[in-house]
Chains A and B, each alone.
Chain A
Amino acid sequence: MTASTTSSGRRLVRRPGRAGAQWRAFLFVVPAVILFAVFLIYPMISTVVMSFFKWDGFQGSVPVWVGIQNYVRIFTQDPVFWRAFMNTVIWLVLSLIVPTTLGLLLALGLNHKLLGRNLLRSAFYIPAVLASIAVATMWVWLYNPQSGLVNGVLRAIGLGALAGDYLGDQSIALVAIFVAFVWQTTGFNMILFLAGLQGVPEELVEAAKLDGAGRFQTFRAVTFPALRPTTLIVFVLTMISSLKVFDLIVGMTGGGPAQSTQVLALWSYQQSFSNHVFGLGNAIATVLFVVSLALVVPYMIWSLREENGR
């Protein structure tokens, strides 16, 4: 960072009217900066500030400073918070493994020139353009204990013992929602990997084959290293989207049964807007904020370093 500033500083020759040019250039970013500052940065800072206040969210009532009391409460007296935290971590780990691997496998398969491959790609990708809330409603119906397809098929093929009210069962509700998530997001990962695969040098693959490398060896030695930037993007996007998971859970269980599918994003929302304890809601949102930063900042630093290295 410092190196780049000095080098560009040396290049810049002070010209008359540079302040004017600066100002004219800045005009272009003004609309974006205002919107960004007022409706994104300010609310985020405000979340952190308000996490030290007690407020019921009604107009006219005054927030009261309570110091770190909200944090003490969520960390020591709120079992739902820890449940939500654990579920968020579980969701994060599962989504770094399952939809990513499936997406990669599909991309490897559909990178071959096969009959109807565009149609096949579309079949996997289409769920990704749907509203998560629509996906949630679809899957609630698929899981319906009486008339849903999942239970209907299980009973018909003699696995009736496995049939049940998945979304109403504390031990598997989260996994049942995750299945819907996999259905929705795998196609997006596939598209990203397919894009990445176009950057794998064909000559290297051919060369590896000529050297007698097997398919797996070729993948490990040539394809996978070339996919590294794509894999990183997929991981970052997956982490972000798994911290945001909200619509699917609201639509499928609302966090229940007995808070077993609660996650940080939803618990924060419910504390603020359903239970009218904005201070606690904001404290949970702040935890989510810190977790997001912890996951995103290393990537940002790495990517800025790459940018400067070029």
Chain B
Amino acid sequence: MPAKTYVKSKINGEDTEFLVEPRQSLLEALRDVLQLTGSKEGCNDGNCGACTVMLDGRIVTSCLVLAVESNDSEITTIEGIAGPEGLHPIQQAFLENAALQCGICTPGFIVASKALLDREPNPTEDRIRFWLANNLCRCTGYDKIVRAVLDASQKMQVATK
């Protein structure tokens, strides 16, 4: 069995230390080592987006990042989106717009949508569809997801005015 490697990174604002085998992905480390099971595995080859997390300000599919690569980095997962004050406006918009059915793709969509709205507070429908092209949803046909992101964008802009 391969020896484990020490990794220290900041996950959802907390300094976190853990041991992983070199072959383990960041997704495996999050789910199996740290019990942060909100990031989902749908394909394990970067094509479904269910494991999307923020790594040092970039969105990545965590199944394609080795856990050892995340040493000294800052990671935000779905567990870090809501705060003690409650849901993030994107999460609230997903609920109010019925933008989820089975919910397995939802964490990835919410992390990816937050990354978009953090950069571009007022995206068009086309821009949202392009940005979310790496997140697969098989239940909704995307309609209500796109509407939820548009809705969240509007509400977040009103809130910051």
A-B complex is real:
no
